[in-house]
């Protein structure tokens, strides 16, 4: 009897924790899964096609990288109740504040263009014209955002996150060799030795794992959701689960292209989807649907990151819990960012390759600054109190941040000067 009482008590306790998690879950999952945006899908597809399963071990290393950086935004948001832009303005003054805000606006807008490029390319595979895709996406995203409740928005976004898992059945459908995945993928190795091409792809994988908008988005999202200090533990768990899912999805994409397109030149995910369709129609279709979903998720988060940041600084009402009448500028800035970025892929002869390269370069100017600010803010004991970084957290996060800064800088410089590392 005693045994059953203990068992029942433990079950109730676990069930209570699960229910609490389900309430708090959201910002971490959404930001991490949205991290696999259109650009990310292209990078993973190219990684699999070029090196097969050989770089899966490297993708696994990105779990702690993504987690340690993003969990800091959870603590910062929950303790200060301020978004990242406002925190930078307040702590480091107007110069660094404007620098971050204007840079964020550029990076977000340019990244948003690349998301639309991915979405239009994905739906063109099914014969949907680009203009129709853009109109549908802008309409759909406006409807999602205009419902006036953060909770509803988050649940819809989580629904799209679920669709991002479409790569998992796709990977099973290609019947990969488990022995090859384990043998080639889990043992750290550098296929073909360390060369420029490999280095560029590794840097691209890191670049897609941590993007500037993610820091701003998750912190603002935590604030908008109203997470408190007591929710930090669950918020961190949410981020950790999200980082595992994002890397898992990346690995399944690598498995798909590594199995069916090994050695094929892949410039973008839409090309990969078209090539996959020739082998297996359903897998190609899954790839295209996944690419569209990735672009949509990325677009949802990126456009919100900008609107939240501007709202914080300009003092506009900036919550998804407000109606259009109560926060007109928040929604206007969201819509303008979205619509102007959506128009670009429709312009004949638009320099889309140049825009993609420009995203990498401009991101390099913002990411190091945002990461350095993050660590400095997390060390401000006066504000953070018991939630400030511990010495161990400082060592781990500083190492990760320094590594990201070095690699993303090299990535940006290699985009500026493609022949430099050849």
DSSP helix/strand/coil, 104? helix
162 touches another protein (CB under 8 A): no
Query: Which CB, 236 or 318, lies closer to another protein?
Result: 318
x/- mask, another protein, residues 36-75, rule CB under 8 A, reads: ----------------------------------------
Among 10, 93, 197, 324, binds another protein (CB under 8 A): 93
Tell which residue, 241, 242, 201, 235, has the closest CA to residue 36. Answer: 242
Distance of CA 226 to the CA centre of its chain: 21
Which of these ranges, 23-31, 104-112, 331-339, 371-379, lies near another protein under the rule CB under 8 A?
A: 371-379
Only segment of 87-95, 114-122, 146-154, 249-257 that touches another protein (CB under 8 A): 87-95
Looking at 125-209, list the stretches that DSSP marks H as alpha helix, in order from N- to C-terminal side.
Answer: 130-145, 150-163, 167-173, 178-180, 196-209
Q: Which is closer to another protein, CB of 96 or CB of 199?
A: 96
Q: Where are the beta strands (DSSP E) in 210-289?
A: none
Kindly report the CA angle at 73 between 310 and 33, in degrees rounded to 5? 90
Determine if 382 is a binding residue for another protein (CB under 8 A).
yes
Report the nearest approach of another protein to the CB of residue 420 (Å).
10
Q: How far apart are CA 37 and CA 40, in angstroms?
A: 5
Say how many CA atoms lie within 13 Å of 162 toward its Cβ.
Answer: 6
Rounded-to-integer distance, Cα 410 and Cα 421, Å: 9
List the one residue from 152, 352, 380, 393 that touches another protein (CB under 8 A): 380
| Residue 180 binding another protein, by CB under 8 A | no
Judged by beta carbon, residue 101 or residue 294, the one nearer another protein is 101
Pick between residue 97 and residue 118 the one whose CB is nearest to another protein.
Answer: 97
**Tokens linked to 417:** 């000067």
**Residue 112 beta carbon to another protein: minimum distance, rounded to whole angstroms:** 21
**Contact in structure between 32 and 209 (CB atoms under 8 Å):** no
| Nearest to another protein of 212, 284 (CB atom) | 212
| Residue 210 C-beta: closest distance to another protein, Å | 17
Q: Which residue, chain included where needed, has tokens 């890397």? A: 247
Looking at residues 300 to 359 of the shown chain, list those that interact with another protein (rule: CB under 8 A): 313-314
Question: Cα separation of 54 and 47, whole Å?
Answer: 9
Phi, psi of 412 (to 5 degrees): -65, -40
User: Which of these segments, 172-180, 236-244, 269-277, 360-368, binds another protein (CB under 8 A)?
Assistant: 360-368
Q: Scan residues 383-412 and list those touching another protein (CB under 8 A).
A: 409, 412
> Of these, 11, 15, 172, 417, which contacts another protein (CB under 8 A)?
417
What angle is formed at CA 307 by the lines to CA 376 and CA 327, rounded to 5 degrees? 125
Nearest distance from C-beta of residue 152 to another protein, angstroms: 31
* Closer Cβ to another protein, 254 or 407, answer by number: 407
Q: Assign 65 to helix, strand or coil.
A: helix
Q: Site for another protein (CB under 8 A): which residue of 48, 77, 97, 176?
A: 97
- State the Cα–Cα distance between residues 144 and 154, nearest whole angstrom: 9
Per the CB < 8 A criterion, the answer to whether 262 and 5 are in contact is no
Which member of 20, 173, 343, 361 binds another protein (CB under 8 A)? Answer: 361
Return the CA Rg of the chain. Answer: 21
Closest separation in Å from C-beta 306 to another protein: 17
Instruction: Determine contact, residues 398/375, Cβ cutoff 8 Å.
Output: yes
Q: How many residues are present in the chain? A: 422
Tell the smallest beta-carbon distance from residue 94 to another protein (Å).
4
- Taking the complex as a whole, the smallest distance from the CB of residue 213 to another protein amounts, in Å, to 19
Q: Which residues of the chain form contacts with another protein (CB under 8 A)?
A: 89-94, 96-97, 99, 313-314, 361, 364-365, 368-369, 372, 376-377, 379-380, 382, 409, 412-413, 416-417
């Amino acid at each position: 009897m005693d045994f059953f009482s203990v068992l029942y008590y433990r079950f109730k306790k676990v069930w209570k924790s699960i229910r609490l998690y389900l309430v708090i879950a959201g910002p971490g999952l959404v930001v991490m899964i949205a991290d696999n945006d259109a650009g990310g899908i292209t990078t993973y597809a190219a990684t699999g096609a070029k090196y097969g399963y050989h770089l899966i071990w490297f993708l696994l290393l990105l779990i702690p990288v993504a987690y340690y950086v993003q969990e800091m935004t959870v603590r910062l948001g929950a303790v200060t109740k301020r978004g990242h832009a406002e925190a930078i303005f307040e702590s480091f003054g107007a110069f660094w504040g404007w620098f971050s805000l204007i840079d964020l606006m550029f990076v977000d807008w340019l990244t948003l263009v690349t998301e639309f490029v991915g979405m239009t390319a994905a739906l063109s595979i099914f014969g949907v014209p680009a203009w129709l895709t853009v109109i549908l996406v802008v309409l759909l995203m406006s409807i999602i955002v205009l419902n006036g409740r953060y909770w509803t928005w988050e649940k819809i976004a989580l629904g799209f996150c679920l669709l991002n898992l479409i790569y998992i059945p796709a990977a099973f459908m290609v019947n990969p060799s488990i022995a090859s995945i384990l043998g080639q993928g889990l043992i750290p190795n550098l296929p073909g030795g360390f060369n420029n091409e490999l280095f560029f792809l590794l840097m691209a994988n890191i670049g897609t794992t941590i993007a500037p908008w993610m820091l701003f988005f998750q912190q603002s999202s935590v604030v908008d959701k109203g997470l408190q200090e007591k929710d930090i533990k669950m918020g961190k768990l949410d981020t950790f689960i999200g980082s595992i899912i994002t890397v898992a999805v990346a690995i399944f994409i690598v498995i798909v292209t590594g199995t069916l397109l090994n050695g094929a030149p892949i410039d973008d995910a839409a090309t990969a989807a078209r090539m996959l369709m020739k082998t297996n129609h359903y897998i190609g279709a899954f790839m295209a649907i996944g690419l569209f979903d990735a672009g949509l998720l990325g677009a949802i988060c990126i456009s919100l990151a900008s609107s939240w940041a501007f709202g914080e600084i300009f003092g506009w009402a900036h919550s998804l819990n407000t109606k259009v009448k109560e926060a007109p500028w928040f929604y206007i800035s969201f819509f303008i960012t979205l619509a102007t970025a959506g128009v670009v892929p429709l312009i004949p002869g638009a320099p889309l390759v140049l825009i993609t390269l420009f995203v990498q370069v401009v991101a390099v100017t913002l990411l190091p600054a945002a990461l350095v600010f993050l660590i400095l803010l997390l060390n401000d004991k006066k504000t953070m109190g018991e939630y400030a970084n511990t010495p161990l957290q400082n060592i781990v996060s500083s190492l990760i941040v320094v590594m990201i800064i070095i690699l993303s800088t090299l990535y940006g410089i290699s985009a500026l000067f493609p022949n430099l590392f050849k």
